[in-house]
Amino acid sequence: EPGSLGLIVGQPVFQAVQSRLWPRSVSSYGVNYPADLGQPASVQKGNTDLVNHVRTQAAACPSQRFILIGYSQGANVVDNSIGISSAGAVVGGPIVATIPADLAPRIAAILLFGNPIRAIGRSVTGTYQSRTKDYCAFGDPVCQAGGFNILAHLSYGGEANDAAAFAAGKV
């Protein structure tokens, strides 16, 4: 997706979260990774960058809370970062870093869109399950086994307000 956060999911969800949490200070961080289907190590690069960023920010701002958002391959990055392997999923890969357990309480919410691990029967479980909302549009072949409508994979911007309401309720 173009832009630092992405036009389909990232920017609309960030703006909706920012609006819901106003007047609190809300910032964003675009994970630094290629997000490229042709680069096998793309998810691992994103996984490493996300975990490093959370660690750095947590140390710099001891009261900061986090909302992790991932769309498509970005959902795989988030999955891996919270210890749910995306290996075997479309655009997935093995876990190379996880958010330390002592920082887990500071992850307020996780928002996933078109999450490829769903198509292989996986989901977020354990520590983060109750703080996660995982969207899969009907027919999206990236997250639904047997999905048939690639346009469904491009529809998640319409979930921005619902996602923001969920996240705001967890912060």
Catalytic residue among 49, 79, 134, 140: 140
Catalytic residue among 49, 86, 134, 153: 153
Do residues 124 and 103 touch, judged by C-beta distance below 8 A?
A: no
81 is catalytic: no
Catalytic residue among 42, 72, 86, 155: 72
102 is catalytic: no
Q: Which of 66, 79, 60 is closest to 109 using CA atoms? A: 66
153 is catalytic: yes
φ/ψ of 111, rounded to 5, equals -120, 120
Q: Which of 58, 104, 63 is closest to 81 using CA atoms? A: 104
Task: Please tell me the distance from the alpha carbon of residue 171 to that of residue 167, in angstroms, as a whole number.
Answer: 6
Residues assigned a catalytic role:
72, 140, 153
